[in-house]
Structure 1
Amino acid sequence: MQFNHYGGQSARLAAALVNAPWPLTPDQLEPILAEHEIIRRRLTTEQIAGLHAWSRRLARCFGDQDIDERCAAINGLLADASSSPRITTHDGQAPHLHYSAPGSDAAAHIRATTAAGLASVVCFAAPHRLGRCARCGRAYVDTSRNGRRSYCTVRCANNDAVARHRSARAAV
């Protein structure tokens, strides 16, 4: 499934922050942000601590849960990100949305972007696409065509299949 930038990349950033081995140093956080196309990646220790707390709140949006619980958690994130979407045409690009106010710090941008990304997936794809791996429990965004993914990676799916196979053979 194809998501727009905020629906896909920003929701995947939310999952990456949830799965990160906190606490992180600036040098550990930077590659995660770069991988998810965040331009301003240098954060202070205080901002990183705030993102750690934010990641715990993001974690509540992944996995099996009632739709009302998931929406309430995301609405809380959107409210606390307290930013208004704006159309921008910076750098000669086609008009597109930014979810953080001009001049906001990097951490505020990350909070607004991840909250908007989760909201986009829930509203324009399906709430169950914000999943938890059936094998290891890591958060993921299901971008599969049919939306029935149960594992964070092919490796986890294969490891689970091998474990089931070995268990079935041992029972014989």
Structure 2
Amino acid sequence: MHFNHYGGESARLAAELANSASPWEPRELQPILETHGVAGCVLTPAQTAEIWDWSRRLAACFGEQPLEQRCAEINKLLTDAASRPYISLHDGTPHMHYSAQGADPAEHIKAVTAAGLSYVACFAGPDRLGRCARGTCGWAFVDTSRNGRRLYCSVRCANNDAVARHRAACSDRRSVC
């Protein structure tokens, strides 16, 4: 499935932030942001801590849950991001920007991640904000597959889960597989 830059890539950034196990230092967060197209944001330690708190809220938007709950979580994020979207023409083509040029970097990250999640939920399908089905993983991911039925965060997790199921079936039959 094709996502635009602000929708899909911002939702993928939200998933990566949600998957972080511990707070970052500003220098650790910088490459994550740049990988997802948020370049030029120099964060202070206080802003990095603010993004850590935000990432815990992003995590609540992924995985199986009632549609109303997912939409309510995303709406809370949109409200708290308090951005002013506008149409930009800086590259000759109209497209949305979700925070003003020169905005506080933490506020910019909040705005684009909240907008990205809302874009995916509204235009691609709310079930595309998933959690890995492998019992020992549970990472958040954005399902970009054609049919929207992805269950695992990666091919590695899918393969490891298949091997575990196969081994369990073999041991249940008490035979050599």
TM-score by length of 2: 0.94
Q: How many residues align structurally?
A: 171
Instruction: Indicate the residue corresponding to 1:57 in structure 2.
Output: 57
Letter in 1 for 2:100: A
AA paired with 1:25? E
Letter in 2 for 1:12: R
Aligned-pair CA distance for 1:13 = 0.2
Q: Which sections of structure 1, spanning at least 5 residues, go unmatched? A: none
Distance of 2:100 and 2:83 partners within structure 1 = 6
Kindly report the root-mean-square deviation, in angstroms, between the aligned alpha carbons of the 2 structures. 0.9
Residue ranges of structure 2 left out of the alignment (5+ in a row): none
Cα distance in 1 for residues equivalent to 2:153 and 2:56: 18
Structure 1 outlier segments of 4+, above 2 Å: none
Q: Match of 2:65, SS?
A: coil
The aligned counterpart of 1:113 is 112
C-alpha deviation, 1:95, in angstroms = 1.9
Larger displacement relative to structure 2 (34-43 or 154-163):
34-43
Letter in 1 for 2:172: A
Please say which structure displays the higher CA radius of gyration. 2
CA displacement at 1:40 relative to structure 2: 2.3
In the alignment, the residues of structure 1 paired with residue 46 and residue 167 of structure 2 have an alpha-carbon distance, to the nearest angstrom, of: 48
Q: Does 1:36 align with 2:43?
A: no
Find the counterpart in structure 2 of residue 149 from structure 1.
Answer: 150
| Per-residue Cα deviation, 1:17-74 (whole angstroms, up to 9, x for no partner) | 0112321011110110011010123200000000011001100100000100000100
Distance 1:129 1:50 in 2: 26
- After TM superposition, the score normalised by the length of structure 1 is 0.96
Q: Which amino acid aligns with 1:170?
A: S
1:84 to partner: Cα distance: 1.6
